[in-house]
Every structure is written in C-alpha cells, then in structure tokens.
Amino acid sequence: MKIPISWLKDYIDLDGLSVEDIARKLTLAGLEVDEIKYAGLPMPTYKGGEKHEFKTSGIAWDKEKLVVAEIREVKEHPNADRLTLLDLFDGKENQTVLTGAPNIFHLKGTGKLAKSIKVAYAKEGTMLYDGHAEGLQLMTLKRTKIRGVESYSMVCSEKELGISEEHEGIILLDDDAPVGMPLAEYMGDAVLDISIVPNMARNANVVGIARELAALTGRELKRPTMDNGRRTKKSGQSSAVNGQSVTELVEIEITNPELNPRFVAGLIRDIEIKPSPYYIQRRLRLAGIRPISNIVDATNYAMLDIGQPLHAFDYDVLVSRVGQIGNLSHKIKIITRAAKDGEKLTTLDGKERELTSANVLVCDEKGSLAMAGVMGGAESEVTDKTRNILLEGAAWNFINIRKTAKQHNLPSEASFRFSRGVHPAMAEQGVKRGLELMAEWSGGQIAPDLVDVYLLKPKDPTITVTTKDVKRLLGIDLTAKQIAELLTRLEFKCTVDKNSVKAKTPPHRLDIGEGAIGLADVLEEVARVYGYDRIPETRMSDSLPPQVGNPRHEWEEHARDILTSLGVQEVVSYRMTSPERESRLVAHDEYVTLANPIAPERRVMRRSLLASLLENVEKNARAESISMFEIGSVFEPNKNDLPNEPRKFAIAMTGLRTQTAWDVKDSASFDFYDMKGRLELLLSGLRLASVSYTPTDSAPFLHPGKAAQVSVNGQTVGVFGELHPLVKEKYDFEDSPVIVAEFDLDALRNATPTYGIAPVSEFPPVLEDIAVIVDESVTAERVEGLIKQTGGKIVTRVRLFDVYRDEKIGAGKKSLAYNLTYQSEKTLTDAEAAAIRTKIVKRLEHEVGAKLRS
Amino acid sequence: MLDQLNEIEKAALESLQSITDSAALEAWRVSHLGRSSPLMSVFAGLGKLSKEERPAVGSGANRVKVALEAALEERSKIVKEAALAKSLEEESLDVTLPGRGVHVGRLHPSTQQLRKVMGILADMGFQIYTSREVETDEYNFQLLNFPPNHPARDMQDTFFVEADGRGDNPILLRTHTSPGQIHAMREYAATNPDNPPPIRIALPGMCFRYEQITARSEIQFNQVEGLVVGENITFADLKGTLADFARRMFGQHARVRFRASYFPFTEPSAEVDVECFVCGGKGCGVCKNSGWLEILGCGMVHPVVLQNGGYDPARYSGFAWGMGPERQLMLRYKIDDIRYFWGNDLRFLEQF
Ligand SMILES: [Zn+2]
C-alpha cells in the first residue's frame, strides 16, 4: 500500500519527524516500509559510516530552481509546427519556454490567456528525470537551441518530477497554486510503500496509518470530515443537501446476511463529470491509482482514505431498468444474492463472466448489476454522460470475495481490502465520505439521508486484560492505567478496575477475537504500542524439559560423517520428479502425485533416491571423478492417505579412482570393488558386523554379473553394483562404468551394532604370505572363512592381496594370495608359525581341493 | 727417521687439501693411513730400530698418525658439508607447481548450516524433533490457526497432493516445519495429559512452496524452527533467547532488532533483523543499504495452537521461531541464485 506523506499530514501533525523517522516507527510496529519513494521532499543525505535504513528512490526538488509559475500567453514557434512558445511568469521574472505538450497544444497561437495556467516550472540547471528516456534517467536541464529558439528551462510532466510514469502532457496545477512558491513547498512529497500483513487489513488506508502513527507517537488523530456534503473542505461553501430523500427512491433487500452483513446507499444528483483537482490526481497517482474522472476518483480516494471500497452506479440506468420491467413506482430495489451456477454478467472491463454460486451479485428487479465487492457491471457503469449517482458502500463476506477474486483472476484494490475483511461500520462512513468528495469535485447535490440495511453486526469483543496477564505473557510490569492508556491510543474503549482493564474493540477492526485469543490479540497491541524495543531481554526461568534425543537423526548424521570421510560428496536433490525421469532407472506405477505441479517434469514425489542421485551425476558427467551420496526420504503412495516416507541412502561413483596431477597421468576408473571398499568401511564405522555380500538379480538396473546384495545378520539392507549397460545408455554419462548403491536406512539402523574393540598386542606379529590355487567356483569368501576358522584366534588378519590366473595354473583355476597376520600373547616361534600354516594348507586342500602355490 | 716422518706428514697433509669428494678421501686414507702406507711401514719397522731410537720414532709416528686422522676427520666434514650443500642446491623443487589432489567428500552446504544452527540450539538445551514432509491440511494449517480460506494462506502457496474424498483436509507438501510443533506437543502432552511437560525442541527439515523456480524463489527449502513451551515463558524470554542465539550464530557483537509482524500461529509476532554481518551495519548491497538483515520470524505460541497441542493456554505459554539455512548461506556468502542449492553442481558444492 502506497501512502503519500502529504495525504498522511491531513490527519496527523508530523512536525519534527523526518520521512525516515516515520518509516522506522511504522516498520517496527508491524507496518513494514519496503521502500520510500521521494517525489519532491528533501532526501536524506548520508555521510560515510551513517546508516541507510530503507530502500530509497526518487528525487528531491531544488527549492530555487523548481517553482510554481503561470502561463500568461501561448504563442507559435516560428520554425516548428509541433512546438508552442509560452510566456510565463515565475513569480519574479517573465520567461519564454518551449513545449510540445499535447495538453497545451490546443491553445497554440491563442496569445494572451483570459485565465492564466499554473504549471511546474524548472529553471536551467535543474536535476530532473528525462521525460523521453526509457525508465528513469536523471538529467540536468541545460541551455540549448531548439529550431532557432533558445531554450533554457521547461514546464514539467509528472514523469520529469518523479511523480508517475505520465509524460503525455505537462502538469496543470490547480488554480489556487501560489505563483513563485517553490514546488517542493507546494507539493513536495514522499511515498511510503507499506506491506500490509493479514491482521493489519484495517490499516490499508491513510487514516489507518495515521491512527497507528498517532498511537506510536502519542499525537492526535485528526479525522476526515464526513458531513454528507454540507460543507466543502476547500471553499467552505455550503452545498445544499437537496431534493427527495434517497430512502423514498431506493430500497435494499439482503437475501443472506452472512454474505452481505450491511448495504448502504446514497444518492447525488446533477453532477458534472470532469477531471478531479490536480492535487487529488497527484495523490492518487502517487498511491498507484490512475485518475479517471471526479466521480471514479472520489470512490477510489475515499477507499484509500478510510478503507471502504465504494461502487458508483449510474442512477438513471437503474431508473430506466425499473421502467423496462413495468414498475411504475420507479422505486429502485437493490437485491444482493448468491449467483446461480452458470449465470452470466458482463463486467465493466467488457468481459462476459460465467458465475458460480460462490459469487455474490448486486441486482435490481430486472437482474444482475455488479459482482459484489469485486467488479461492477458494464451496463450501470459511470460514463461521461452520467448525471446522477447511486453510491454503494457495503460489507461482504471476506472468504467469498477472496474466492471470487481468485476465480475470476480479478485482484483489485477493492477485493484486496474486502478479502481481508472490512468492518461493516465503515460502509456508512465510506458512502458519506464518497458523497462529500463527489459534491466537492463535481458540483452535485446530495439527496438527504442514506438507505442502510445492517443485518449482521460484528461482535466488537470486550477483552479483560490484567496486569498479571501482561507480566505472564510479555514479561513486563505495567499498571492497569498504563495498559488502558496504550490501548486507548488505538481507540479501544477502556475501563480500569483495580488491576484489570476492560477494553472494547473499536468499530473499525475485525482482528480481535474472544477469550484467550482476544487476550493474545490485545496483548500484541499493548506490546506494539509500548514498543517491542522497550521490552527487556531475559533468560527463561522455566525448568528444562526431559532430555530425549533423536537417535534416528543422530545415526543419519553419523553415516554422513563416515561417507564424507571416505571422500564421497553429499548432494541434496529435488523431492519432485516425474515417472518418466525415474523410469530410466526403475519403473513404478503409483506415485504421490501433485494436484498443482509447477511443471510436468516435477509432478510426482520421488520413489527412488538413486534416480535423483544419477541425475546429479549426469549433470556433472564431465567431471574427472564423481562420488556422491544422498540421504533422504522417498515417498510411497498410500491410496488417499498419507504416504510412507522411508529414509534411504544412495551412493554413485564414476570416473577416475585417483586424481590426476601434472605428474600423475593415468588412473583407473572406479569399479565394483571401490564401492565395496567404501561400503565395508561405512558398515564397520556403523559398528555392524556379520555383514555378507551375495550375488543378486533383485535389482534389474544392475549389471547381472556385477551386482551384490548386502545383508546384516541375514537381513537384507541394500544392493550395489555396476549400472547395467542398457540403463547406463539412457543417461548422458561418460565411458567409465557407473557404480551405484542403494540402502534402506531404517533396515540398516535397525541391524544390531556390535561394540567390541580388539586389544592391541605388545608382542611382535608374524607376517606371512600364502597363495593357493583353487577352482574358479570357490569363492574368496569361502577360502577366507576357512583360513580364519582353522587359524583360530591366532590369525588376526587375513588380507587377499592378489588374484591371479594363467595357463600354468590351468584353465578354470585361480590363485588367491593372502597376507596372514599371526598374533599371540607371547612371541611366536618360527616352528609355531609353521605349524599353523601347515594346518591351514591341509584344511584348504581337504575342503576345497586347494593346492599350495610355490 | 724423524725427518722421514715429517716428510710423510707434510706430503699427506698437502695432498689432503685438494680433496673434494668422499671417494678421493677414502683413497687418501688408504694411501696415507692404510696398511701399506709409508706411515704404517714406519710403525712396522719400529721393531728393527735400536732401543734408543725406538721411543722417539714411535712417539713421532703416533703424533703423525693422530695429526693425519684429525686432518682427515676435519677434511671429511668439509667434504660432507660441501656435498650436502651441493645436493640441497640441486634438489630444490619448483614450489609453485600444484600439489597432488585427494578426493574429498563434503557435506552439502545446507547440511553444514543446519548442523551449525542445531549445534547452537543443542547447547541451549533444544532437542531435535523431525516429522514427515507430506502432511495433512489439518496439521499444516488448521491446527496452526490457519482456517480454510483465511487470507494468511496467501502467505504460503501450497502444493497439494491428488487424493479423493478428503473434504477440507487435503494432503499437501508441508509449507513449513510447524506441523511438527503440533506433533511434538501432542506427543509430549500424551505422556502426562494433566501436567504436560515443558518443551524445548528444534525442528529441522525440508519444506515446499508453490513458486516458480527462479534465482530468488525455490519450490523446496530447509527450515529450522525452535519451539519452547512451559509455564512462565514470556515475550521478554523470547527476546533474550533469540538475542543469545543470534550472538552465537552471527557473532559476539551481533545486534538484533524486533519488528512487529504477523504469523497465524504466533501472537504477538515479530520479525527479527540482525545487524548486517557483511558490512557491520554501515549499509551494503547485501542488506540493501538498510544495515539490517531479516533473518527469522518469531512470536509467542498462539493460544489456539497451544490448545490444539494439548497445552492449556491459561497455564502454559511459549514461543517459536523459524529460519532458513539456505537464506543464511546466501547472505553470508553473497550467493545470488538460490537454484545452486539443489542444482548440485560440484563446482558449487566443492566451495564449501
Ligand atoms: Zn550490509
């Protein structure tokens, strides 16, 4: 919401407060100022080290060089058809100025004007925005010659002064603008762009902001006049309230008060449609609204002023519609009701809209007139020919307006306010304010009285706040009198009784609840007005809760640490993917599917963590070496219920095993055993023993001969292996094999860890190599098992260091070579070592037909 | 005889002077101190000398031997030093050549930041509580005081999951970790419904918002929330706790500022700004010249939320706050594009 400071000053005295002071006070109180845009007022200057507090834009106006001036004569340019020469008085001297402004052009060659025209005049050297440039480009006004005429100054458009984007013509100031006055003094402004959070909806207007500032500064709030046009603000003249009362001409029927708690209507006659005064147009533009005409502007101005959206109907159109249905009384009956499904209405943007029962309509006896609270209908719209206006101010159900604005994609200033809730009390004030402004700007005559049907009044709850509540929840000591004083500044009606305050909600806000909620609502107001910055910082005095830990989380973090220590990089992927993307690796029929995906390729929740991981490998495929892991949830659908979210971890490796360097030229690629080595270290790091690796065909995406299943205590926990060549082909990978692993974290975590650490002997170990030739069918695991079993406790380490095949050994045979470590609680003799060795060799010969290789 | 000894000594010492390497040194030793050297033959000939001559020649020969040995030792030290100096000079490396690399595994930056946050919270007595990522509308919104169609829902654009027959309790991707507040409160309260125990937990996890993926907005992000519930917990405690947290998180002298704000599940609510840690509050591009960085949202737990969690708001109170580790990293390291986080480009990840 954009608030011009000049407008704010109508309702609160801001003397002694800089624009930044005001912005700071509002920001700290929950009305966050996103940006300050200067349009004339002096901008703060910063010396080194001083703080800029707000995003700032715009320009300040030079008091010497920018002044109010009057055009006295409009002449022709001797050499240019499209330019005019203005004789202008700047309060001190006469000046000649060139302009091509279209809104002066029709006066070209008129000569002396009967009535002078007031303009914004910029002298040589003024810093302005370049009106002809794209966007906002600062420039300094320089002396030049245009078609033979010297030009040293100009009359300005709004764009040049940083008021708006408008550069169609020059600014034509109101007639009472004092010639010679510095423009900054006359209409220098700054605009606060304030974000309005949902429970601050009441403040989406100038009076609301002024009320907050008054509360925060302890100053007085001046209220706008709403005297139904009996007096105009500027001239002080009486504009008589005249003619037949509106109550005799219009009646209102509300069919559902839940949808439409209140409807107020007023009538103004004999208006003249014309532009609003310039200062009003300027304020509207600064507030982000395009001026249209005095009548439309009055509805917008009143809305920005006090927060009540209004709608103006062409009264004569309504009267003729009454005639069309043969009602001779000519009394207009306004009916509000829910639309019928499929009912149609052409809105004032010319679009025919198909309605649903979620939309509310303002109708007469002939049919629909407007989409309530969102947009008027085309037929009864105000036009240049409109003479009489029926002005609507109503209260609507905020949920309904919200749905309607969304459904028809019609966000507007009105629906913004209505969809956050406008207090029904504002309907009457809004109509009065609107009529007053229309009378002032259009010369119309207001019909006596208002038609007002008010069926559903909000509760405006009364909340009891005690000094104890303030101490218990805010942690500060305030007396009941102090509490009442703070709340009174926000117009709560307060009565003090000993240590408690009864505070009645003022009739402009809907955000105060009842009971415990109301108490929290009111305490927030106490804290805000008191100042969050004045509340002390204390440490909790409450007792500490029982300590319970989160074993799953701690365990996952431990696994992450082990994996990174093994040189594997962690990644975190999008949880959202598509079945097509995952099907490159593994196909699933059912997914947790989004009803509103941002894109088809992110329409389901992933089922395979490995599929996510491989996409990351693919993205980094040009890297020399990749080892990545991810730990995270996958999502298993559960019909119309919440999905299961098992935790998984996946590793993928491809590329070079060791980093190349300037003297290390080649390195082998990662293979199955690089992965296995890491998994072994991971599992031992997680203190898991009894791990077995068996060939598997359970994962079709793996190479059938290079795939293993991992079990702990007989329980399967994961698979790993080389990616199947046909699967690998579907990705944009480099040549080297891609080795992957996928584990079920919960199964892994539930496997029983072992916590023994073997003692380290002081006696020297005996190291020895032994190589045996066995049939290909004999697995390394079997041989190693036999060695360990036979050697018993003395054989503390068995390490396979070579697997060898050749003709000498024979076809179908292989040689397995082991380092054995013998360790005893004494120094072993050679003879003892030899005895163990013989025993092992014999056992291998016997069990698997091994032959000792010499 | 003694003259001969002097000759031997003189000749030996002379030839030693020109020796510069260890091989020549050894040759010199053999020829001047070895078995067949002139000196040794003097020793060998001692027996043939007369009784009178023998002591003088013997002691003379010994003197020469000692002198030659000392000279040899001295010379060999010089030769060694020269050789070492030479080899040191010859062996010098180009120290500017790059070092040999090692494959390093790092934690994802979000994990690193989450750990930092949770480590501080753990020190402050907060325990980690995790909960599901796909949630019901009830837990994500309704129980947190976002009624259906409430304008506050506009603040959190939501991904919904296709599911039939769920009425006004659709399934959705959680938009914040706050559903965990309700899960946790209900779990704690169930242990002793008449006197629910106090709570001090941290809730980390992935959250989702319906946004277009741009440099500034993402469809998923991590959040960490803190939640305190107990008796006598005040807004002043909230301020004190978060000021403590901010000092640990952003530096000993980090100043914080509390601005009134709005969240449906807290009241009073506040946004917390920390003095810009890039410029120290002087104003810079990161803080958009404000000197302050908006770093977290907080507030006293709303009475409706306490009630829904099984805690009587007339007796219990509490506060909660939430922050985003990715946002913190972006500010700290001037990362201008949030898409880096889930892009997983190794060239990005390797910088952390
Ligand atoms: Zn900064």
Reply yes or no on whether the pLDDT at B68 is more than 50.
yes
Report CB contact under 8 Å: A28, B234. no
CA of B329 to the centre of ligand 1 (A): 14
Report CB contact under 8 Å: A536, B288. no
The whole-number pLDDT of residue A758 equals: 78
The whole-number pLDDT of residue A166 equals: 87
Confidence grade of residue A54 (pLDDT, cut at 50, 70, 90): confident
Looking at per-residue pLDDT, the higher value among A352 and B288 belongs to A352
Reply yes or no on whether the pLDDT at A822 is more than 50.
yes
The average pLDDT across A138-142 equals: 92
The whole-number pLDDT of residue B151 equals: 78
- Single out the residue of A833, A851, A815 nearest to residue A767, CA to CA: A833
Contact between B176 and B221 under an 8 Å Cβ cutoff? The reply is: no
The whole-number pLDDT of residue A232 equals: 43
Report CB contact under 8 Å: B100, A521. no
Q: How confident is the model over A118-131, as pLDDT tens digits?
A: 999 999 999 999 98
Report CB contact under 8 Å: B346, A623. yes
CA of B347 to the centre of ligand 1 (A): 27
DSSP string, B127-190: EE----SEEEHHHHTGGGT--TT-GGGGGS---EE--SS-TT--EEE-SSSTHHHHHHHHHHHH
Confidence grade of residue A105 (pLDDT, cut at 50, 70, 90): confident
* Neighboring chain B residues of A25 at a CB cutoff of 8 Å: none
Report CB contact under 8 Å: A659, B350. no
Distance between CA atoms of B304 and B283, rounded to whole angstroms? 40
Report CB contact under 8 Å: A602, B343. no
The average pLDDT across A609-631 equals: 95
Reply yes or no on whether the pLDDT at B180 is more than 90.
yes
Contact between A694 and A711 under an 8 Å Cβ cutoff? The reply is: yes
Q: What angle do CA B72, B75, B76 make, to 5 degrees?
A: 85
The whole-number pLDDT of residue A211 equals: 97
The whole-number pLDDT of residue A50 equals: 59
The whole-number pLDDT of residue B152 equals: 81
The whole-number pLDDT of residue A233 equals: 45
Looking at per-residue pLDDT, the higher value among B347 and A242 belongs to B347
CA of B257 to the centre of ligand 1 (A): 15
Distance between CA atoms of A688 and A717, rounded to whole angstroms? 11
What percent of chain A lies above the pLDDT cut of 70?
Answer: 97
In this prediction the pTM is: 0.87
Confidence grade of residue A49 (pLDDT, cut at 50, 70, 90): low
Residues 6+ apart with CB under 8 A from A578: A600, A601, A602, A603, A604
Q: Which of A177-181, B7-11, B172-176 has the lowest mean pLDDT?
A: B7-11
DSSP string, A261-297: SEEEEEEEES----PPPHHHHHHHHHTT-----HHHH
Question: Given the structure tokens 């790993």, which residue do they identify?
Answer: A720
Reply yes or no on whether the pLDDT at B112 is more than 90.
yes
Confidence grade of residue A47 (pLDDT, cut at 50, 70, 90): low
Q: How confident is the model over B196-233, as pLDDT tens digits?
A: 999 999 999 999 999 999 988 999 999 999 999 999 99
Distance between CA atoms of A424 and A395, rounded to whole angstroms? 5
Looking at per-residue pLDDT, the higher value among A480 and B93 belongs to A480
The whole-number pLDDT of residue B128 equals: 95
When the pLDDT of each residue in chain A is averaged and rounded to a whole number, the result is 92
The average pLDDT across A258-286 equals: 96
Contact between A778 and A762 under an 8 Å Cβ cutoff? The reply is: no
A628 to chain B, minimum CA–CA distance in Å? 8
Contact between A66 and A187 under an 8 Å Cβ cutoff? The reply is: no
CA of B251 to the centre of ligand 1 (A): 15
* Neighboring chain A residues of B162 at a CB cutoff of 8 Å: 593-595
Confidence grade of residue A512 (pLDDT, cut at 50, 70, 90): very high
Long-range contacts of A232-240 (CB under 8 A, 24+ apart): A232/A436, A232/A439, A232/A440, A233/A440, A234/A440, A239/A439, A239/A440, A239/A443, A239/A444, A239/A445, A239/A446, A240/A445
Report CB contact under 8 Å: B235, A625. no
Q: How many helices (H) and strands (E) does chain A have?
A: 23, 43
State the virtual CA torsion across A238, A244, A249, A255 in degrees, nearest 10: 50
Confidence grade of residue B321 (pLDDT, cut at 50, 70, 90): very high
Distance between CA atoms of A280 and A337, rounded to whole angstroms? 35
Confidence grade of residue A51 (pLDDT, cut at 50, 70, 90): low
- A8 three-class SS: helix
Q: How confident is the model over A670-706, as pLDDT tens digits?
A: 999 999 999 999 999 999 988 999 999 999 999 999 9
Confidence grade of residue B48 (pLDDT, cut at 50, 70, 90): confident
* Neighboring chain B residues of A399 at a CB cutoff of 8 Å: 149
The whole-number pLDDT of residue B182 equals: 98
The whole-number pLDDT of residue A239 equals: 53
Q: How confident is the model over B251-306, as pLDDT tens digits?
A: 888 889 999 999 999 999 999 999 888 888 877 878 877 788 899 999 999 999 99
B84 to chain A, minimum CA–CA distance in Å? 27
> Number of residue pairs across A and B with CB atoms under 8 Å?
284
Burial of A100 (0-12, 13-18, 19+ CB in 10 A): middle
Q: Residue B136: which of A520, A545, A642 has the nearest Cβ?
A: A642
Terminal Cα distance for chain A, rounded: 91
Report CB contact under 8 Å: B268, A527. yes
- Cis-peptide into A643, omega within 30 deg: no
Distance between CA atoms of A390 and B16, rounded to whole angstroms? 127
The whole-number pLDDT of residue A79 equals: 82
Q: How confident is the model over A360-410, as pLDDT tens digits?
A: 999 999 999 999 999 999 999 999 999 999 999 999 999 999 999 999 998
What's the residue count for chain B?
352
What's the residue count for chain A?
854
Confidence grade of residue A345 (pLDDT, cut at 50, 70, 90): very high
- Single out the residue of A525, A534, A478, A483 nearest to residue A506, CA to CA: A525
Q: What is the ipTM of this complex?
A: 0.88
The whole-number pLDDT of residue A236 equals: 44
